[in-house]
């Protein structure tokens, strides 16, 4: 159960190493500890970027268990999301994982070779650059984005950090308290936020598992949620029987339009008993955004299925919104996950905001 945190911290300025240095650090599969370096990441080589969060944990979207996973020595960088250019235009816009070996402190990058690293800051690990004998080349990176079709597999599949995340991580049970301490020491979250999320989770757990005094515990939980978040305790109740067709709606929204997310009571009228609409799940992490206004970021029509590597063509376009990402504050098995996945919104869950009023 060893856990190696990144030597960087949230808010720290780092420099992405050169392409030659990074290629020299990769194995023949283009990976470090199972985590692939993708062609889309090459555009960041040599850039100075700030660490947004330390990626010491994630959620399992490969096996669809949605449980926590431990990630070793990695961070997410501000604005560094996958463009999908090397993966046939996948629009998932995933937050990229950056291993420590691919980064160096900006101070170390500008320091003369004779200077001594400051006390208390780990020096940048040297990378032996030998492009001629590197186990991986840029061509290898592009080749590894596909799994060729074969007799057992009639179509080519895609491979990326998201599809390989399960193999590049280890199990992390929610009761491993180290993760919540690391949320604070890495500067991912303030102590107040971590304690608040855990306190509200404990109350929700008591509501579900207390054999007596249910009404009292629920009242305490609801009041605590209202005081601390301004919203009631998360609860979604789909109004359509499972198996019956759920309604659809088309607004033909375009990038840059302002929309309002409908209130939960209206969204529930479009969900079945499993909280889905036409196969699209409405997650508890989407509740805090209900009733708020946002700009349309994109119309998503194709994404890679992380569980099998197949390219999915959306039967109906899904909408992503500017500034709306999963904050992992409700789901027990992945509390405070820093991955910041963009949720998808059906157009029937949205409504245009009058342009003049906006």
Q: What is the pLDDT of residue 137?
A: 94
What angle, 0 to 180 degrees and rounded to 10, lies between the N-to-C axes of helices 191-209 and 178-185?
Answer: 150
- Give 143-175 as a DSSP string: HTTEE---SS-SS-EE--HHHHTTTTSEEE-TT
How confident is the model at residue 114, as a pLDDT?
38
What is residue 348's predicted lDDT score, i.e. its pLDDT? 96
Q: What is the mean pLDDT of each run of 10 residues along the chain (358 residues)?
A: 90 97 96 97 97 96 87 97 96 97 80 39 49 77 86 80 96 92 97 97 92 87 95 93 90 95 97 92 95 97 94 91 96 92 96 72
Q: Is 241 exposed, middle or buried (0-12, 13-18, 19+ CB in 10 A)?
A: exposed
Question: Tell me, what's the pLDDT at 116?
Answer: 38
- Looking at residue 121, its pLDDT comes to 39
Rounded to two decimals, the pTM is 0.89
pLDDT at position 120 is: 34
């Amino acid at each position: 159960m060893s856990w190696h945190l990144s030597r960087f911290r949230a808010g720290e300025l780092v420099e992405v190493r050169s392409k030659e240095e990074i290629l020299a650090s990769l194995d023949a599969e283009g990976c470090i500890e199972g985590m692939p370096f993708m062609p889309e990441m090459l555009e960041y080589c040599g850039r100075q970027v700030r660490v947004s969060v330390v990626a010491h944990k994630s959620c399992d979207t490969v096996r669809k268990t949605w449980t926590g996973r431990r990630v070793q020595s990695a961070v997410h960088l501000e604005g560094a999301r996958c463009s999908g250019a090397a993966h046939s235009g996948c629009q998932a816009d995933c937050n990229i994982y950056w291993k420590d070996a691919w980064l160096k402190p900006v101070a170390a990058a500008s320091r003369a070779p004779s200077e001594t690293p400051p006390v208390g800051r780990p020096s940048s690990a040297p990378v032996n650059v030998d492009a001629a004998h590197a186990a991986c080349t840029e061509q290898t990176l592009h080749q590894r984005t596909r799994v060729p079709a074969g007799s057992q597999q009639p179509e080519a599949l895609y491979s990326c950090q998201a599809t390989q995340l399960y193999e590049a991580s280890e199990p992390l049970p929610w009761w491993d308290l180290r993760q919540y301490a690391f949320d604070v020491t890495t500067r991912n979250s303030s102590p107040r936020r971590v304690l608040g999320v855990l306190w509200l989770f404990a109350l929700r757990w008591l509501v579900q598992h207390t054999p007596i005094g249910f009404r009292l515990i629920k009242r305490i939980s609801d009041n605590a949620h209202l005081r601390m978040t301004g919203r009631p305790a998360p609860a979604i109740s789909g109004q359509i029987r499972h198996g019956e067709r759920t309604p659809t709606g088309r607004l033909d929204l375009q990038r840059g339009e302002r929309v309002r997310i409908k209130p939960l009571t209206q969204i529930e009228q479009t969900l079945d008993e499993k909280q889905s609409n036409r196969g699209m799940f409405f997650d508890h992490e989407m509740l805090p955004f209900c009733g708020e206004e946002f700009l349309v970021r994109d119309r998503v029509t194709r994404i890679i299925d992380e569980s099998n590597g197949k390219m999915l063509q959306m039967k109906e376009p899904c909408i992503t919104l500017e500034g709306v990402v999963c904050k992992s504050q409700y789901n027990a098995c992945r509390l405070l996950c820093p991955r910041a996945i963009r949720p998808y919104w059906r157009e029937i869950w949205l409504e245009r905001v009058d342009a003049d009023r906006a």
